[in-house]
Amino acid sequence: MASNDYYRILGVPRNASDTELKSAFRNLALRYHPDRNHGNKEAEAKFKEINEAYNVLADSEKRSMYDQYGEEGLKGSGSGFSGFGGFQNMDLGDIFGDILGGFGFGGSGRASGRSRSRKGGDLKHDVKISLEEAFNGARVSVNFERTELCSLCRGTGAKPKTGFKKCSTCHGAGRVQYAQGFFSFAQTCPDCHGQGEVITSPCRQCHGVGTERRKASVNIKIPPGINDGTLMRVSRAGDAGVKGGDSGDLYVQVYIKHHSRFERVEDDLLYYVNLSIPQAVLGANVEVPTIESGNVSLNIPAGTQYGKVFRISNKGMPAMNGKKRGDMLVNVKIEIPTQLSSKQKELFKELSNSIDGEEKIVKKKKPESIFEKIRGSLILS
């Protein structure tokens, strides 16, 4: 087992998704960044620790190796770009963007501008609706929490107007230059993260984080005929983006509650009807409820057996995004009485004897073969 538990460091489960990893890393990095914890050695050590953890878990190959063999499995695997100091801690998209922007042969490789924006994290929320709502369609209010930009500093993390100073590492350029032989590389400044300035006075409302958790609510439209487990996406309703990036999306998974009368079988509805013995034997007309208002009449023919299924057309669920509609499936169950009076028992016995007697009369003697007939005629003659 690894001496450092990277999952514990980031506070995520071992099956955490990429989105969960990014969200956990972002929140911890903002909390423990040296710019916001001047002179705090513990915060600096924690920042390095979470950076190392994310560097491994965000890389699918490294993560697989770590899951199987721990830290020992990472030794000798190489981290790529490690010889240029700090590249191993960067997002690959950031690395390649910097190389392409600042690559040169013998030139200064000067790069400027802010670090690129990043989309906010996606969120997931579950809702439960009734079968009637799934049939008719509905509007559902989804209440949840999400990360939003601080209302006071608007995401900068600093006290408005007076909370910044020019970065002493990049001198306000947002990039720093590295050279290896005749190659030159421009990299996002590790101290100001491409902003060109650092926070001197953290925002009193978000304490330098730039974001805050708030309650949110959105109304979603449930289409008629929606299936159990359907995943719906609400664009840009997730966590706020970083540095002007778009907000993430909200994914709403819709589940349908158990119904007291009907069972759903794709677009059909299954209903169980209980018949008495006389109804099953003699036949009857029964009323079958529908998911709409009112009942429909169903003719039960004489001699209907237990488990027989009748189909009533176009009384099921509407097909999602279609004009067709499922059917109502009526499954017959026969109720056997358990408490009979003495007279009722005598009547059942009479009925049983009557049926048994008729069966004996109906049964005929096996017809004689032609040879038996010939033999009989010879004996008589």
Question: What average pLDDT does this structure show over 352-362?
Answer: 66
Percentage of residues of the chain with pLDDT beyond 90: 34
pLDDT in tens, 49-76: 888 888 889 888 888 888 877 777 676 5
Q: Using an 8 Å Cβ cutoff, are 207 and 184 in contact?
A: no
| pLDDT value of residue 290 | 94
Answer with the residue of higher pLDDT: 227 or 354.
227
**Each residue of 290-329: pLDDT tens digit?**
998 789 999 999 999 999 999 999 999 998 877 789 999 9
pLDDT at 107: 37
Summary mean pLDDT of the chain:
79
- Find the mean pLDDT for residues 256-285: 94
Angle ∠(184,190,194) on CA atoms, nearest 5: 85
* pLDDT band, residue 45 (cuts 50/70/90): confident
Tens of pLDDT, residues 75-125? 655 443 333 333 333 443 443 343 333 333 333 333 344 445 678 889 999
pLDDT of 242 > 90? The answer is no
The mean pLDDT value for 130-153 works out to: 92
Q: What integer is the mean pLDDT of 255-283? A: 94
Give the model's pLDDT for residue 23.
85
> 3-state secondary structure string, the chain?
CCCCCHHHHHCCCCCCCHHHHHHHHHHHHHHHCHHHCCCCHHHHHHHHHHHHHHHHHCCHHHHHHHHHHHHHHHCCCCCCCHHHCCHHHCCHHHHHHHHHHHCEECCCCCCCCCCCCECCCCEEEEEEECHHHHHHCEEEEEEEEEEEECCCCCCCCECCCCCEEECCCCCCCCEEEEEECCEEEEEECCCCCCCCEEECCECCCCCCCCEEEEEEEEEEEECCCCCCCEEEEECCCCCCCECCCCCCCEEEEEEECCCCCCEEECCEEEEEEEECHHHHHHCEEEEEECCCCCEEEEEECCCCCCCCEEEECCCCCECCCCCCECCEEEEEEECCCCCCCHHHHHHHHHHHHHHHHHHHHHCCCCCCCHHHHHHHHHHHC
pLDDT at 96: 38
The CATH superfamily assigned to 1-79 is DnaJ domain (1.10.287.110)
Residues of the chain with CATH 2.60.260.20: 110-163+201-255, 263-334
Banded pLDDT at 17 (limits 50, 70, 90): confident
Q: What is the pLDDT of residue 32?
A: 83
Question: Which class is 263-334 in CATH?
Answer: mainly beta
Q: Confidence band (pLDDT; 50, 70, 90) for 33?
A: confident
Domain with CATH 1.10.287.110 in the chain: 1-79
> Looking at residue 268, what is its pLDDT?
95
Of all residues in the chain, what percent carry a pLDDT higher than 70?
A: 78
CATH topology of domain 110-163+201-255: HSP40/DNAj peptide-binding domain (2.60.260)
**pTM for the complete prediction?**
0.57
